[in-house]
Amino acid sequence: MMRILLMFLIISFAHTDVLKRADVQDFIKLAVESSELTKEEVENYLVKAVASEKAQTARQNQPEVKATWSRYRNRYVTSSRINNGAKFVKENFEILESVERDFGVSKFYIASIIGCETNYGSFLGTYNPLDTIFTRAFEPANSFWQKELIQLFILSKEYNLDPKTIKSSWSGALGLGQFIPSSYNFYGVDYDGDGLVDMYNSQKDGIASVANYLRENGWKTGSFAVSEVTVGKKFSNLEDDDIAKLQLPFNLNNFRTKITVNDLLKEGFEFDDEFNEKISPLLVYEQGKTKLYLGFDNFRVITKYNRSSKYALAVHQLALEISKRFDE
């Protein structure tokens, strides 16, 4: 009993002690000056925050950075995720059709993103956003995540949420589509018309918010996201290590690369397809073969959701497979 009491006192002291930190005091001032939050409201949230070592560890082991394309693909483009995606589309068909009409974003890409993010809503995370975002905001100090922490407090106040008890990802992403707080506040849609943006309990809100995010970030209705083309003999037998060693005047597998078809052809790639859009070339080793994909504007829009070419390509491939399974 004495041990439990001692631990409680230590934890209570640690929570209160957070408010004495100079960087936290600066943050409180920023939060009050840049929002309609009061000093008391900000402090009441902060005293519950605890740095999360688990979240820090998770951040350092993200598959977008460490996994090969094959391993990454095998994690997301799976039979179960394809089958569950087709099921998700069928069960939410009316909502998805309506959202597609209103926002101009393919229902299959919406479903794919939700599938990659939360396995169609079945897994909303094992963390809480208060601790995870506090950790990223102060351990070490990060101005971007301090602003996200303010957005979390604004969100919590507006919808009467407890940021210590709701579920999130290791980075504090929330709800069906895993929005960080600023995206929740700026892109969230009250599609069911109940006066609340609820990405936890409303399929309509969650689905429409994903579509709105893509549209507002430049999604082009009816345009391709990715196209697979022939790779040509020069690059036809390359595995991951070989691809990484290639010396080209542009970066492969990088969504920031924007070149023309002629730029690729000059380097020995061979395909007859013609595209007018700027392309992000993706040369990958997949299922025992070297493949060349061309990412277009919609591909780069998907990377606004997650800043990873692997992620955007996985979303594209999963969307195609869901569409095929849905039509069977």
- Supply the DSSP string of 88-138, one letter for each residue: HHHHTHHHHHHHHHHH---HHHHHHHHHHHHTTTT---SB-HHHHHHHHHH
Exposure letters 117-128 (e unless 16+ CB within 10 A, then b): bbbbbeebbebb
Q: How many CB atoms lie within 10 A of CB 75?
A: 14
29/129 same-domain check = yes
159/34 same-domain check = yes
What is the average pLDDT score of the chain?
Answer: 93
- Tell which residue, 151, 209, 154, 156, has the closest CA to residue 178: 209
- Tell which residue, 298, 328, 317, has the closest CA to residue 108: 317
Give the model's pLDDT for residue 11: 38
252/164 same-domain check = no
8 A C-beta contact, residue 301 and residue 217:
yes
pTM: 0.92
Number of structural domains (the chain) is 2
> Which structure tokens are listed for 52?
């999360």
Question: Percent of the chain beyond pLDDT 90?
Answer: 88
Select the more confidently predicted residue: 6 or 182: 182
Q: What is the CATH number of the domain that holds 153?
A: 1.10.8.350
Task: Determine which helix (DSSP H) or strand (DSSP E) holds 307, and give its type and residue range.
Answer: none
Alpha-carbon separation of residue 90 from 53, 122, 198, 248 (angstroms):
40, 16, 22, 44
Residue 153 domain-assigned (yes or no): yes
Q: What is the pLDDT of residues 66-114, one digit of tens each?
A: 789 999 999 999 999 999 999 999 999 999 999 999 999 999 999 999 9
- Tell which residue, 281, 279, 289, 280, has the closest CA to residue 240: 289
CA distance 269 to 246: 13
8 A C-beta contact, residue 296 and residue 277:
yes
12/161 same-domain check = yes
Residue 183 domain-assigned (yes or no): no
Residue length of the chain? 328
Residue 278 domain-assigned (yes or no): yes
Residue 102 domain-assigned (yes or no): no
Domain enclosing residue 253, as ranges:
226-295
CA distance 95 to 114: 14
Of 133, 153, 174, the residue that ends a domain is 174
- Tell which residue, 285, 298, 287, 290, has the closest CA to residue 227: 298
Q: Is the pLDDT of residue 58 over 60?
A: yes
> Which structure tokens are listed for 162?
């407890």
- Tell which residue, 295, 291, 293, 292, has the closest CA to residue 278: 295
135/52 same-domain check = yes
145/52 same-domain check = yes
Which whole number is the average pLDDT over 125-133?
Answer: 97
Task: Determine which helix (DSSP H) or strand (DSSP E) holds 226, and give its type and residue range.
Answer: strand 226-229
Give the model's pLDDT for residue 208: 98
With cut-offs at 50, 70 and 90, classify the pLDDT of residue 61: confident
Give the model's pLDDT for residue 253: 97
Which whole number is the average pLDDT over 35-50?
Answer: 97
159/18 same-domain check = yes
Residue 200 domain-assigned (yes or no): no
CA distance 28 to 243: 48
Q: Is the pLDDT of residue 145 over 80?
A: yes
Largest CA-CA distance found in the chain, in angstroms, rounded: 77
Task: Determine which helix (DSSP H) or strand (DSSP E) holds 286, and give its type and residue range.
Answer: strand 280-286
Ranking 8-12, 177-181, 255-259 by mean pLDDT, the lowest is 8-12
133/52 same-domain check = yes
25/153 same-domain check = yes
Task: Determine which helix (DSSP H) or strand (DSSP E) holds 300, and give its type and residue range.
Answer: helix 297-305
**Strand order in 280-286's β-sheet?**
226-229, 289-295, 280-286
219's CB contacts (< 8 A; 6+ apart) are 104, 105, 298, 301
Residue 314 domain-assigned (yes or no): no
Which whole number is the average pLDDT over 54-58?
Answer: 87
Residue 7 domain-assigned (yes or no): yes
With cut-offs at 50, 70 and 90, classify the pLDDT of residue 16: low
Q: Which residue has the tokens 């439990």?
A: 4
41/157 same-domain check = yes
151/19 same-domain check = yes
Residue 264 domain-assigned (yes or no): yes
Give the model's pLDDT for residue 12: 38
144/29 same-domain check = yes
